[in-house]
Structure formats: C-alpha cells, structure tokens
A and B are shown apart, each in its own frame.
Chain A
Amino acid sequence: MKALQIAVKDTLTRFRDWKALAGMFAAPLIISAMIGLAFGDLGGDETPIENIPVVLVNLDAGELGQAYEDVLTSPDLADLIALETMQDPQAAKARIEAGELRAVIVIPAGFSETVIPDSQGNSGQANVELYTDPTAEISPVIVRSIVERITAAINSTLLAGQVAGQQAAGYAPLLGPAMGQLGAAIGAELQSGNLNLQESLLDLEVVSTGETGESFDPFAFFIPGMAVFFLMFSMFEGSRSILQEERHWTLQRLMSTPTPTWEIILGKMGGTFLTGLLQFTILMLSSTYLFGVSWGTSILGLAILVVLTVFAASGLGAMLTAFSRNENQAGVVGSAVSLVFGALGGSFFPTDGLTGIINIASKLTVNRWAMDGFLALTVNRGGLADIQTSILVLAVIGSVTFVLATLAFQKRFVK
C-alpha cells in the first residue's frame, strides 16, 4: 500500500523537524504550564474546596426540617460547609446575589406535616428549595448533591415506616439514627471521591467537576484546549506539504511513478492524519505525566474522540490547502483559521456562556465540537454517551472535507 508508505514518510519527516516538533509539543505544553502557574496549580495539586458558605432557612417546625439541619451541621461536613441559619428566605437569596453565599436551602413551613403521612396514611407534596450561585461552578453541585442525599434518605425512611404501618409519631425514632449516620456517610464519600454527583449535574447549567467534589483542575480544561488548538496548526501545516512537494517537484516525481494519483493524495492526507494522531496521543500522555491531568474514565470514548478530532482537523486542513491558490495563501489562511477557531471554539475559554450568533459561529468550528467532547470526558467524567453529538459532528466534518479535498486535489494535480 503506497499510500501508507507516503503517510509514514511524511510522519517521519515531520518528527525529524525540530521546528515542527516545537510547534507540536513544546508550545502547547509550555503554554499549559504557564496557565497552570497562573492558577497556582502546577503539578496537579488540587486546591480543596472548603467552607462553602451556605444558609439554611428552616421554616419547618417538624422533625424533617430538623433532620436536614442535623445532617448539614454534622461534624463530618463541618470542613466542607460553613452553615448559617436565617429566617428570611428573601434576605438569604439577596446574599447569593451579593456574592456572599454559594447556596441557600429553604425548608418551607409545614414541610414535615405535609410530607409525613397522617393516621389514614395520606401525605402531600412539598419541596425543599435550593438556590445556588450561577457564577460558581463546583460548590453548588456539591450542596445540591448533599441535599438530594438527605431527601433520598428521608424518603426511604418514610417509605420504610409506611410499609411497617407506623403512625406519624413513630417516625421520629426512625429518622434520628438514619440521619445521624448520613452525615458521616456523605463525609466519607467526599473523602474517598465516590460521591456521585452525576444526577445533579444534569440539572445544573454550569460546568462543574464531578471528580471528588474537592477541586477544579485548570489543566482539565486548558490541556485539551491547547492540544486541539495546536493540533489545528500542525494539521494545516501538514496539509500544506503537498503544495511544497509540488514546488520541489517530488509530487511530480511521485506522479511519474506507477502510483495512482488518488493513492498519492490519500497518502499525503493520511500522513497529516497520522502525524496528528501521534501528536495528540503524545500530548495526552505527556500532560498526564507532567501535570497529572486526567483524561477521564472512558478510554473508548477518548480514543474515538481523538481519532475523529484529528480526522476533522486534517480534513479541514486538506480542504483549505486544496482550494488555496498557493502555498503562501494556504499558510496565511491556515494560521487565521487556527486562531479564529481556537478563540471561537473554546480552546482558550469555556463556551457555555456563549449565546446567539457567537454561539452559532462557535458551533461551526472543529474546536468547539472537539472541546465539548473532551470537556465532557475530562471535566465532567462522562462516557461515550455524553460525546455522541461531538463524535457525529466531527465525523461528518471529517468525511465531507476529506472528500472535497480529494476531488479538488485530483482536479488540481492531474493536468
């Protein structure tokens, strides 16, 4: 297979070029290290999140309101949550807006009475209200998951009591021990990093870490960002090499050998793809080693995402090259597209705040779909199911650009 031999030759050439290596590896790793330093987080040491300011407004006079309060004030959660109690929900919410609080938990008046079944076994519906700081990313998730855990524990206790035919008065003895253990259980889960925050993530608009509920790792965002950004650069540069080969007459020499033109073109594009695959893999491994970045838990999802990201980036590079008038123009367009895509597509800052036309423009970039996918894996610890859209879009971009590039190159070089 001559295409493969051409691809290997190109990859070998690129990995012998010090300038290319600097652009492919040194630049992204150094920039990531600098960003890491700026966050005071070099080496992957995670700053623990502690003393999250939370207010509990307990308007319930019954034992359920008390249960929430008991758990939230349990010594096991004391490091994590700095709990205050207030009586005025509005005043408490105002303090979120003022930036003083991350969350306010409101237990409505008559909550226990409504929820605990009466002597006929009838019970009503009432909700604990949770208000969180929209600008915060992680702490609301933690508070929310704790509240949900308490609610779930209460529900199962009530259910157990109901099945056992308990009267209203009989719930208190049941609740006491259950709640007493819950605080310790949540604390232990937090310690070991097993607290399951997945469900609460679904309802939150903010990107937040599900890692251990302890920290935000800037590398989990910036390393994929830089890797994708510099991948685009090297893919555009790699694609351009076909025009360079034309200038040096090695392309003509290739075409004077008994090798079909399509195979030469496939080999050239394959070489860029192979280079990108190696570049990204090496960046992933070295960032894991150097900065302790975790690339998530889904190896399969990650592998598919990397392959398709490189596929889309190299396809786009090939297409831009194929439609450029010359090598120079391809270079200028390539650099411009790399920069614009990087900025719009979330290589430098998160895109979840984007709206309207900017958001639409962002979704026209390879970077955006790649970043959405990588963040779902690295920051949110998602799996294959969470990156389906990214995978699909990248596959479509890659296929379309590869086909267009192949046709355009054929037209360009067969004279």
Chain B
Amino acid sequence: MSNPILQAQNLHKRYEKVHAVQGISFDIQQGEIFSLLGPNGAGKTTTISMLSCLLSATEGDAVIDGHSVGTQADAVKRVIGVVPQEIALYPDLTARENLMFWGKMYSLSGAHLKQRVAETLEIAGLSDRANEKVETYSGGMKRRINIAVGLLHEPKVLFMDEPTVGIDPQSRRRILDTVLELNQRGLTVLYTTHYMEEAAELSRRIGIVDHGKLIALGTQDELTKLVGERDTVRIGISSVNDTDALLAALTKLSGVDHAALEEDELVLQATNANAHLSQIIGAIGAAGGQVKSIKVAEPNLEAVFLHLTGRALRD
C-alpha cells in the first residue's frame, strides 16, 4: 500500500516579511488524488511552487518519483505536470498554437507532439475550437486548455492549483469529472482548493492548510472524527403514541447520545449513525410510529476547519 510517489518533507518558505509555508510534510501515494484544502493565503500556491521547482524551499525538501526537488529539478520537471492557478496561456495564440508551443517546451516534437496536442484537446473537449484564439474563449474553456497544457508530456503527477476558480457550475463539474477520469487512467494528482466539496468529492486523503501550516491530514473520516462531532440524524415520523417513551428507548440505544422531537421530526445525535439506523427504525416501529423520511448529516470538512481554526473556510 505505502508507495509514495511524492514526499514533502518539512517544507518552509520564508519571504522577507512573511513565513508563507511553515514546515509542511505529506506523502502522496501513487495513483491517488491528494487534496490540499485551505483558505486564500494559506500557502497552497507557495507549496506547489516549491514542489514544481519554481521556488527554492527555505528549508526542507521534497522527493518526487525518486528525484529531489532541491537538487534534481530537471528530472522532477519531466515527471510533473503543472496547472497553475492563473490561466498561464498566450491569449493571442490559438489553443492549438498554445499547446504546440508548450509541447515544444516539454521537448516534444514532430508527429508525437501533434498527436499529444490532439489528445489533450480531446480531453479538454475543445478539438472543434482548437483554431480559435484563446482570448475568445470563456473562462471555463480557458481553464480546460490550462489543464491540457499540464498533460501534454504525460506526467506521472499532476499539480492542479485551484483549477476551478471563477467559473460556472457546469464548467466546474466538467473539470472535476476530467480529474476523476484522468485519475482512473492512473494519473496521480495533487489538487488544491478552498472548496470543501471539491476536496471531499475528489480525495480520500486530504491535508488542511492554514497560515502556512498543515493543521490536519488524513482520510475524510479521520478528519471528521477530529471534530468529535456526531452525525445528526433527522427522522420524519407520524402516529407515535408515546413520544416520551420512544425518546427514552432511543437514548438507550448504543451510539445514540441524544434524542429530541422537533415538531414531527426526531433529531438524534449519533456516533456512526448509519450503523445504528436499523435499530433506530426498529424502536420507532415498536412505538407504533411510521418513518416518513431520514436524513443523516455527517460532519463535514467545513466543520473540521471551523473546529480547528475557529474560522469559516470561506470568508
């Protein structure tokens, strides 16, 4: 299982006045989508810049596919693809010209280059508009070409720095689907975002960054457990004879901490609610009640961030 393709080890970046990254360490396993979640200014871009050899780390190092970022930049650059937060394209050139140019910068040439340009245009879904200038594209289309450039040289690891910022929901959906599809084909992805839902959808393992520090790292389950918060189960019921008896019975169930009735809705606080749902429904039936709806709200990453920092993820 443990087969890290990327290991960041105690990365620091100090600017004159700002300690932008303060000792970040994490591993990324081959084949996973690892997300760094954090608000603006957390240090995500700075971290990615160090991993892509754009910035030298003030302290620490990273090893990518066996090569040190600090001392083997050239080898690292060949295995990574970078999708910057900015739309790093030439607006005066067409999408195809952009891809051709960037392909050459990755030392591709000839028929292979043409083939890769066609393939990445296909991934971006823009083959039919490839000969239009990028400046005429919508924000979402530009973002897709921005991603396509990072894929040209078939990297082993793709760094994606907030690739869905400032675009409409359909375009975002499309990009998330693309990321999932690329991952299914074997691409390892380092994804940064300040959208909790994106990290939650894409990644099993997530690092939460704030003020230059990795304040939490783990699977979503592990992270949410940090909150110590219970699942909130809301059950719409009808025709219960003795509600007090039902509530008493429910609180006796293992895992249920608290039960209350809000109008015709039972609200339970439960640890690992899903595992106890059948018992809960059984108790309701025994009390003569009928279940009309069930909603289990799991604690989310937003709650985790709130719990850890006392602030909301998005301000």
On A, residues with C-beta under 8 Å from B are: 2, 5, 9, 12-13, 16-17, 248-250, 252-259, 415
Contact = CB atoms under 8 A, between A and B. Distances in A.
Interface in B130-184: 149
Contact of B106 (A16, A250, A257, A415): A257
B115 to A, nearest CB: 19
A17 B133 CA distance: 12
B92 A17 contact: yes
Contact of A9 (B52, B53, B74, B101): B101
A258 B49 contact: no
B105 interface: yes
Interface of B: 49, 52-56, 74, 77-78, 80, 82, 84-90, 92-93, 101-102, 104-107, 149
Given A5-B104, A258-B106, A253 B88 contact: yes
B52 A256 contact: yes
A256 B54 contact: yes
18 contacts: A2-B104, A5-B101, A9-B101, A13-B93, A16-B92, A248-B86, A248-B87, A249-B87, A250-B88, A252-B49, A253-B88, A253-B102, A256-B54, A256-B84, A257-B106, A258-B78, A415-B54, A415-B56
Given A5-B101, A5-B105, A255 B54 contact: yes
Contact of B90 (A5, A13, A258, A415): A13
A180 to B, nearest CB: 71
A258 B88 contact: no
B107 A258 contact: yes
Contacts of B90: 9, 13, 250
A248 B84 CA distance: 10
Contacts of B89: 250
Given A13-B93, A249-B88, 17 more contacts: A5-B101, A12-B93, A248-B87, A248-B88, A249-B86, A252-B49, A252-B88, A253-B88, A253-B102, A256-B52, A256-B53, A256-B80, A256-B82, A257-B105, A258-B78, A415-B54, A415-B56
Contacts of A259: 105
Residue among B54, B55, B80 with most chain A CB within 10 A: B54
Residue among A248, A255, A258 with most chain B CB within 10 A: A258
Contacts of B55: 415
Nearest to A247: B86
A243 to B, nearest CB: 14
Nearest to B55: A415
A250 B53 CA distance: 15
Contact of B105 (A16, A248, A254, A415): A254
Nearest to A255: B54
B105 A252 contact: no
Contact of B77 (A2, A250, A252, A257): A257
A415 B74 CA distance: 16
B120 to A, nearest CB: 15
Nearest to A263: B105
Contacts of B78: 258
Nearest to A16: B92
Residue among B52, B77, B105 with most chain A CB within 10 A: B105
Contacts of B104: 2, 5
A12 B90 CA distance: 11
Contacts of B149: 253
Given A13-B92, A258-B77, A252 B54 contact: yes
Nearest to B80: A256
B134 to A, nearest CB: 11
Residue among A9, A12, A415 with most chain B CB within 10 A: A9
Nearest to A9: B101
A159 B269 CA distance: 128
A13 B92 CA distance: 6
B223 to A, nearest CB: 30
Nearest to A5: B104
Contacts of A256: 52-54, 77, 80, 82, 84
A2 B105 contact: yes
Closest A-B pairs by Cβ, 9 of them: A249-B86, A249-B88, A253-B88, A257-B105, A258-B77, A256-B82, A256-B52, A250-B88, A13-B92
A257 B87 CA distance: 16
A9 B93 contact: yes
A258 B89 CA distance: 17
B44 to A, nearest CB: 15
A73 to B, nearest CB: 68
A253 B107 CA distance: 14
Contact of A249 (B84, B93, B105): B84
A261 B120 CA distance: 26
Residue among A16, A253, A415 with most chain B CB within 10 A: A253
Given A13-B93, A17-B92, A258-B78, A253 B106 contact: no
A259 B101 CA distance: 13
A25 B58 CA distance: 48
Nearest to B107: A258
Contacts of A9: 90, 93, 101
A23 to B, nearest CB: 16
Nearest to B75: A258
A248 to B, nearest CB: 6
Contacts of B82: 253, 256
Nearest to A413: B54
Contacts of A249: 84-88
A385 B4 CA distance: 68
B84 A252 contact: yes
A270 to B, nearest CB: 15
A250 B82 CA distance: 11
A256 B146 CA distance: 14
Nearest to A10: B90
A256 B73 CA distance: 9
A258 B54 CA distance: 11
A373 B86 CA distance: 46
Residue among B85, B86, B87, B88 with most chain A CB within 10 A: B88
Given A17-B92, A415-B55, A258 B74 contact: yes
Nearest to B152: A257
Contacts of B102: 253, 257
